[in-house]
Chain A
Amino acid sequence: MGSLIGQGIVGIALPALLALVLNGLVLRSSALTESRKWPLIGLIVAGCFVFSYSVIVGGITFPPREATHWLPFIAVGAVVFGSILQFTGGIARSIVRLIAALATAWTVLQSQTFGRWPLLISVEWLVAVTLILFATSRLIERGGAARGTPTEILLGMALAAGFGGIALFLGGSVVLGQICGAFGLVLAGLTALTFFLPPAHLGPIIPLIYVLALGSLLLSGSLFSDLPWPTSGLLWIAPFGVLIGPPAMPLGKNRNVRLLLRGLIVLVVIGLALVALFLIVQPNSNEY
């Protein structure tokens, strides 16, 4: 059992710590412009996600055969697509975002829907998930841009991913739960850093990684494990709790109070998600 704890430290705590240090160095760097910092931070976040996945699952499967095998590729792909988004505009930007959302929806859904469910229902699912991923990444990006700093929306994402890990763990997949928990910790570290080293804007890369990675994790949990759909849905909308009300002032005590209140709104939605989980699947402690 000791080595199981060791795996938790290497697979969850180490990538979170590594991301905290590296992201801190990038955010502090004066040699890098803001637009150069986010692709680097995106690479660090995705790299730590892949590292965590690799340790917890026991390696990366190539070529991927199952929906969850795609997770590391989705994280890295999100950095690539996010970087393209950062340097494009207009209709091209929407097309790139749509391709990223469609590719992610396809990788998760193709094994479970097409060939098993009626074609029309499968297509409906593909379209619905694509649109949700597309719209959410856009909303988070805009929400982050509308605030004085990206800290608020990052806090919402970190809380949703962290508690998503707990929900997945209790919903029947220890592996997905650990990966999601590690992702939440990485985002929590980034949130803390932006509190002390506030960047001017969030950019599209982190929201895209968050949306595609967490979306894949929650979808996999609900499709292949016992994570209830209402829990997934509530966790999905939870970060938007921080967007309620007028934008906070960039500095000052008032900002901290508002940040705390918005964090509480996110926690209430997450609490509802966990209540739904306990009411629907009544999880027991995982026993091996």
Chain B
Amino acid sequence: MIVRFTLFATLLALTGITSAKADNYKIDPAHSAIIFKAVHLGVGNLYGRFDTFSGELVLDPNDSAKDSVKVEITTDSIDSNSAARDKDLKGPDFLNAKQFPTATFKSTAVKKVDDKDYEVTGDFTLRGITKPVTLAVQVIGTGPGPRGETRLGTESTVTLKRSDFDMKTFSQVVSEDIQLRIAVEAVKQ
């Protein structure tokens, strides 16, 4: 009986190891930022940010192909350090935040480049238009937080063409390429 029980327990433990659950991480907005950069009039870089966003990362320690990333940005939370410009950016000329309150990124493939760098391909949806994009993701670090929780930090960049998302106006003033930088700290759940 004892032998049988020991065998069963060992099998159970082995099963648990081989099907080790993927780690779920939730983005901590207080320690994260989503910033964008546009070239203004061809003479200077203009930076802005989105204040409200959420997202989660699923990391499989055994198979990076099973990793996934999901980010949701509230378009109405855009802040470019000018209330008048923000009003225009939120309006129908640019983000049309009332009709399209969120922009989303959902990964479709994660490719490990080296220990720190990943290429995350996925669908980016803005203004109701979905385009495939590839984020260059760098893992900044991982470790314990002040409450003993596990934290993971990454920084990703991607360059979007605004005309791909039906934002064609003011091409003389605002650059076609918009660089998006997503720096997140995520907490293991």
A residues with a Cβ closer than 8 A to B are: 1, 3-4, 7, 56-59, 61, 65-68, 111-112, 172-176, 220, 223-226, 283-288
Q: Is B84 at the interface (CB under 8 A from chain A)?
A: yes
Chain B residues with CB under 8 A of A68: 92
Q: Total number of A-B contacts with CB less than 8 angstroms? A: 77
For the residues of B in contact with A, the DSSP-based class is: loop
Chain B residues with CB under 8 A of A175: 92-93, 169
A66 and B98 contacting across the interface, CB-CB below 8 Å? no
Cα A66 to Cα B41 in complex, Å, equals 28
Cα A84 to Cα B92 in complex, Å, equals 32
Known: A172-B88, A286-B84. A57 touches B98 (CB 8 A): no
B: contact size bracket: 20 to 34
Distance to closest chain B CB from A161 (angstroms): 18
Known: A56-B169, A57-B169, A61-B166. A288 touches B88 (CB 8 A): yes
Chain A residues with CB under 8 A of B169: 56-58, 174-175
Cα A173 to Cα B170 in complex, Å, equals 12
Q: Is B6 at the interface (CB under 8 A from chain A)?
A: no
B residues with a Cβ closer than 8 A to A are: 40-41, 82-85, 87-88, 90-93, 96, 98-99, 127-129, 163, 166, 168-174
Cα A68 to Cα B91 in complex, Å, equals 11
Task: Pick from A1, A173, A284, A285 the residue with the most CB of B within 10 Å.
Answer: A173
A67 and B99 contacting across the interface, CB-CB below 8 Å? yes
Partner of A111, one of B41, B99, B173: B99
B93 and A1 contacting across the interface, CB-CB below 8 Å? no
**In this complex, what residue of B is CB-closest to A284?**
B84
Known: A65-B128, A66-B99, A224-B98. A57 touches B168 (CB 8 A): yes
- A-B residue pairs in contact (CB < 8 Å), sample of 13: A1-B41, A57-B168, A58-B169, A65-B166, A67-B92, A111-B99, A112-B99, A173-B92, A223-B98, A225-B91, A284-B83, A287-B84, A288-B174
Cα A224 to Cα B91 in complex, Å, equals 6
A172 and B91 contacting across the interface, CB-CB below 8 Å? yes
Distance to closest chain B CB from A128 (angstroms): 19
Task: A223-B98, A284-B84, A285-B84 are known; give 9 further A-B pairs, CB within 8 A.
Answer: A66-B92, A66-B99, A112-B98, A172-B87, A172-B88, A175-B93, A224-B96, A224-B99, A287-B85
B96 and A58 contacting across the interface, CB-CB below 8 Å? no
Chain B residues with CB under 8 A of A225: 87, 91-92
Chain A residues with CB under 8 A of B85: 286-288
